Amino acid sequence: MRGDAPAAELARLNVFVYGTLKRGQRNHERFCGNLASVQEAIVRGRLYELPYGFPGLVVPEADMLAAGTTDYLADTETGHNKKVGPLEKPLGPTVRGELLTFDDPEKRLQALDDLEGFRLGEKSLYERVLIPLTLSETGAAIPAWTYVVEEPSSGLYLPNGYWPAP
């Protein structure tokens, strides 16, 4: 644990969402109740509408700061210990979504991993990775967990970086 951070801060989990977990989308109420905060954010990457009716995010390998594990508290600690700077220009394609902050990392990450089908060591559609994001309102850069896919062989690229496509 970091000696200079309050225990409450260490217990907070940051997750970047870009699809069905965003406010107003079908999985938000069920999986994202009791949020500590929600903020608009952007990440570097490409967004696809997958054939299954939900999106998939592809991020540059260089932006992957850590891979998710089943030690949820350690993953939360990793998220707090990574330092990131603002996204460098040229940004390339970006994706707009929301930074959700939770106070119950162990319970929440397990539920989100189950929803996204992330199984450590098994073939999964999504992988959970730690990436840098930029808060839209303040421009602050912080690390957050998100779910990414490999470059899809089918699906519709969303060049505006937003799902559902307007």
CATH number for the domain spanning 146: value is: 3.10.490.10
164 part of a folded domain: no
Encode pLDDT of 49-72 as tens digits. Answer: 999 999 999 999 999 999 999 999
163 part of a folded domain: no
Neighbours of 66 (CB within 10 A): 16
Domain range spanning residue 112? 7-151
Provide the number of structural domains found in the chain.
Answer: 1
Encode pLDDT of 111-157 as tens digits. Answer: 999 999 999 888 899 999 999 999 999 999 999 999 999 999 899 99
- Nearest 5°: the CA angle 78, 81, 82 is 90
140 part of a folded domain: yes
162 part of a folded domain: no
Residue that is written with structure tokens 């940004």 in the block: 91
Measure the CA–CA gap between 38 and 151, rounded to whole angstroms: 28
Q: Read off the pLDDT band of 10 (50, 70, 90).
A: low
156 part of a folded domain: no
C-alpha distances in Å from residue 60, one per residue of 44, 91, 97, 102, 149: 7, 11, 17, 26, 11
121 part of a folded domain: yes
- Please tell me the pTM assigned to this model: 0.91
Any idea which of 28-32, 80-84, 119-123 has the lowest mean pLDDT?
Answer: 80-84
82 part of a folded domain: yes
1 part of a folded domain: no
